[in-house]
Amino acid sequence: MNNNLIKGNKFEWETIIGLEIHAQVKSKSKLFSNSSTAFGSKPNSQVSLVDAAMPGMLPVINQYCIEQAVRTGIGLNAQINNYSVFDRKNYFYADLPQGYQISQYKYPIVGKGKVTIDFKDGNSKDIRIVRLHLEQDAGKSLHDQNPTKTYVDLNRSGVALMEIVSEPDIRSAEEAGLYINKIRSILMYLDTCDGNMQEGSLRADVNISVRKPGDEYGTRCEIKNLNSIKFIKQAIHYEAKRQIEILEEGGIIEQNTLLFNTSNGKTRPMRSKEEAHDYRYFPDPDLLPLEISQTEIDKLKSSITELPDDRKKRYVDDYNLSNYDASVLTSDKHVSDYFDEVINSDKSLKESSKIVVNWITSELFSILNEHNIEIKISPITPKYLGKLVKLILENVISGKIAKDVLIDMYNTKKDPETIIDQKGLKQLTNTSEIENIVEEVLKENQKMVEQYLSGKDKLLGFFVGESMKKSKGKANPKILNEILKNKLSKKN
Amino acid sequence: MKLDTNTINKIAKLARIKLSEQESKDLLKDMNSILDWVEQLNEVDTDKIEPLANISSSSLPKRKDQAEDINSSDEILQNSPDKLEGYFAVPKVVE
């Protein structure tokens, strides 16, 4: 059952992983100041006196950020705490003007929760959430521009983050990928974080240790600040292997904070953390405890429409999709919105949802990927894709021709019916026309016909191909096959 | 509870404060007497009492999510000893 074990040279090992995800709240202004959170602005142009930690400045909390943390907590099926406290986490770093980060330590805004991840084989697994708390982001340091200087941009300083901490319930790189994807999709459905990993709106610290199955947890290392699912998986693979090698050679794992080098795929200890951190948390005297009433929580609960798991269930129940297909489809809200629009564009499509899924995930995706276009701005509208699928279902065109039509639809933004009319692509369903074509093909290939009749059954495919070619791909394959078989059997 | 010089030096290091040996000795004495004084609070039974984060009875003031366009670069960099193209330039932090 446990296929997550890693084979070392001597033993089999289990990887134990917990994730701390930092998700930037999608707010206009920062957590404790009204400077803008816009990404990519001129360096240090969005730094208020509060963000720069000028003496005497006082933080005032952003109501919207509190609400988004609560909504996210609800999306994580978590306990929302009516009482939480902001603490100071003290450390010195060039991109942290205050000398401390305002965070939540003992009393976070959100407590225990859980999310479900779905595997290809149809199985599911719950990953428990320890907590979610609100905290300030730090500024950004550029280390590689100058040999003796570090450049600091404080625009990000003070932006609201939600730190989502999981229990060490994750057992493989694959599970870690599914988990972070699930969190990302929940955040995007709730619209509490834009989920943009490239811009750093979503990043993760990975805690990882290994043990022989059944043993106690081993010593863990923490890999900091990974900003893509690919890197998270690579880092886990590398780090698990590294720890196993040390242990099998009789060594011990030192608890360490690591950085992952994306260019060589290796982890290494962070030098600046040589001295074990002692953050000396204490309640921030500038901020009163945060109290949220049950009425406020209930109101926020009612603002949540459909979460990925609800939608997944709807797809399984209403459209007969498999659990895995439904989870893949719902993991990206934009894809899932597109699917909903296609299905809703015509009643008859509900019966053929699986075909719609295939047209979206294989044909549409391949065109969009080729042009690097996101589905939410797809030139092929859901309504037109729905029309195209309907034309296939009604045998007006074959699936093969539909693929060409789809490319035309992308390029011209035209209605599929218009394209089919203009190019004369309608499928040939007229029996006598197809019969004529088949007759011709058989006449032109008499030798093959003899071979077929003497037992080379495989030649049927050849006749189908030739006839199809002659019809310019328009012959209805089912009718064509029937006529061919019929004619050949009569020759026997 | 008694502090020793090592603890004093560690606290100083965490606070990025440089202490001479004499200062360290003086502070050890001061801090120990402060701790002794605070120690008296241990006589109060607090077993069933939740820690208090703040003594004020008012509630946390909140603001609306409105962003102000402040274009702070020039002003914010004014006090910086070294800068380049809108960035603070600080001694290299090695990672």
Indicate if A37 and A140 belong to the same structural domain: yes
Supply the mean pLDDT for chain A.
92
Indicate if A116 and A36 belong to the same structural domain: yes
At B14-66, the pLDDT tens digits run 888 999 999 999 999 999 999 999 999 889 998 888 877 777 778 899 999 99
Name chain B contacts of A82, Cβ cutoff 8 Å: none
At A459-485, the pLDDT tens digits run 888 988 888 888 888 888 888 888 888
Question: pLDDT tier at A276 (50, 70, 90 boundaries)?
Answer: low
Tell me which residue in A48, A272, A287 faces B95 most closely, judged by beta carbons. Answer: A272
All structural domains of chain B with their residue ranges: 5-39
Q: Is the ipTM of this complex over 0.90?
A: no
Indicate if A26 and A142 belong to the same structural domain: yes
Does the residue A320 lie in any domain? no
The pLDDT, as a whole number, for residue A461 is 87
Does the residue A163 lie in any domain? yes
Tell me which residue in A44, A66, A106 faces B77 most closely, judged by beta carbons. Answer: A44
Does the residue A314 lie in any domain? no
At B10-24, the pLDDT tens digits run 889 888 899 999 999
What percentage of chain A reaches a pLDDT higher than 70?
98
Indicate if A405 and A464 belong to the same structural domain: no
Residue A84, φ and ψ in degrees, nearest 5: -140, 165
Query: ∠ CA(A10), CA(A15), CA(A196), 5° rounding?
Result: 145
Residue A222, strand partner residues: A207, A257
> What's the CA gap between A134 and A109, in Å, rounded?
7
| Closest chain A residue to B68, measured at CA | A35
Residue B63, strand partner residues: A62
Q: Do the Cβ atoms of B84 and A151 come within 8 Å?
A: yes
Helix or strand or coil: residue B82? coil
Indicate if A55 and A144 belong to the same structural domain: yes
Predicted TM-score (pTM) of the model is: 0.84
Question: pLDDT tier at A427 (50, 70, 90 boundaries)?
Answer: confident
Which residue do the tokens 């609201």 mark?
A160
Tell me which residue in A36, A66, A153 faces B67 most closely, judged by beta carbons. Answer: A36
Find the chain B residues whose C-beta atoms sit closer than 8 A to any C-beta of A: 10, 13-14, 16, 51, 53-54, 56, 58-73, 76-77, 82, 84-95
Indicate if A459 and A368 belong to the same structural domain: no
Indicate if A391 and A247 belong to the same structural domain: no
Q: Do the Cβ atoms of A48 and B70 come within 8 Å?
A: yes
Mean predicted confidence (pLDDT) in A334-340: 94
Q: Choose the mutation target among A31, A39, A46 for the interface with B, i.e. most B CBs under 10 Å.
A: A46
Q: Which two tokens stand for residue A401?
A: 């021709």
The pLDDT, as a whole number, for residue A137 is 97
Q: Do the Cβ atoms of B60 and A61 come within 8 Å?
A: yes
Amino acid letter, residue A150: T
Among A85-99, A393-407, A440-454, top mean pLDDT goes to A85-99
Does the residue A310 lie in any domain? no
More confident residue, A466 or A187: A187
Question: pLDDT tier at A488 (50, 70, 90 boundaries)?
Answer: confident
User: Are A110 and A70 in contact, with CB atoms under 8 Å apart?
Assistant: yes
Does the residue A323 lie in any domain? no
Indicate if A237 and A105 belong to the same structural domain: yes
Does the residue A307 lie in any domain? no
CATH number at residue A483: 1.10.10.410
Does the residue A318 lie in any domain? no
Indicate if A395 and A438 belong to the same structural domain: no
Mean predicted confidence (pLDDT) in A281-292: 94
What percentage of chain B reaches a pLDDT higher than 90?
59
* Domain B5-39 class in CATH: mainly alpha
Q: Do the Cβ atoms of A34 and B88 come within 8 Å?
A: no
Among A116-125, A152-161, A398-407, top mean pLDDT goes to A152-161
Indicate if A235 and A132 belong to the same structural domain: yes
**Cα first-last separation, chain A:** 55
For residue A274, pLDDT beyond 80: no
Q: Choose the mutation target among B9, B50, B59, B62 for the interface with A, i.e. most A CBs under 10 Å.
A: B62
Q: Which two tokens stand for residue A389?
A: 């699928």
Name chain B contacts of A85, Cβ cutoff 8 Å: 53
What's the domain count of chain A? Answer: 3
The pLDDT, as a whole number, for residue A271 is 63
What percentage of chain A reaches a pLDDT higher than 90?
72
Name chain A contacts of B51, Cβ cutoff 8 Å: 106
The pLDDT, as a whole number, for residue A295 is 97
Question: pLDDT tier at A1 (50, 70, 90 boundaries)?
Answer: very low
Mean predicted confidence (pLDDT) in A49-66: 96
At A81-119, the pLDDT tens digits run 999 999 999 998 899 999 999 999 999 999 999 999 999
Does the residue A327 lie in any domain? no
Listed residues A257, A284, A300: the one ending a domain: A300
At A293-314, the pLDDT tens digits run 999 999 999 999 899 999 999 9
Q: Which two tokens stand for residue A89?
A: 């986490």
At B69-78, the pLDDT tens digits run 888 999 999 9
Mean predicted confidence (pLDDT) in A262-268: 92
Indicate if A381 and A481 belong to the same structural domain: no
User: Are B7 and B15 in contact, with CB atoms under 8 Å apart?
Assistant: no
Question: pLDDT tier at A395 (50, 70, 90 boundaries)?
Answer: confident
Listed residues A423, A441, A472: the one ending a domain: A423
Indicate if A339 and A454 belong to the same structural domain: no
Q: Do the Cβ atoms of A34 and B76 come within 8 Å?
A: no
For residue A273, pLDDT beyond 80: no
Mean predicted confidence (pLDDT) in A378-400: 91
Tell me how close the Cα of B76 comes to any Cα of chain A, in angstroms.
7
The pLDDT, as a whole number, for residue A3 is 75
| Closest chain A residue to B61, measured at CA | A60
Q: Single out the residue of A217, A209, A269, A1 nearest to residue A121, CA to CA.
A: A1
Q: Choose the mutation target among A151, A159, A267, A280 for the interface with B, i.e. most B CBs under 10 Å.
A: A151
| Closest chain B residue to A86, measured at CA | B53
Mean predicted confidence (pLDDT) in A60-77: 98
Question: What is the distance of C-alpha A188 from the center of its chain?
Answer: 10
Range of the domain at A399: 332-423
The pLDDT, as a whole number, for residue A475 is 83
Q: Do the Cβ atoms of B90 and A149 come within 8 Å?
A: yes
The pLDDT, as a whole number, for residue A491 is 74
| Closest chain A residue to B88, measured at CA | A152
Tell me which residue in A38, A48, A271 faces B95 most closely, judged by beta carbons. Answer: A271
Q: Do the Cβ atoms of A94 and B66 come within 8 Å?
A: no
> What's the CA gap between A406 and A55, in Å, rounded?
62
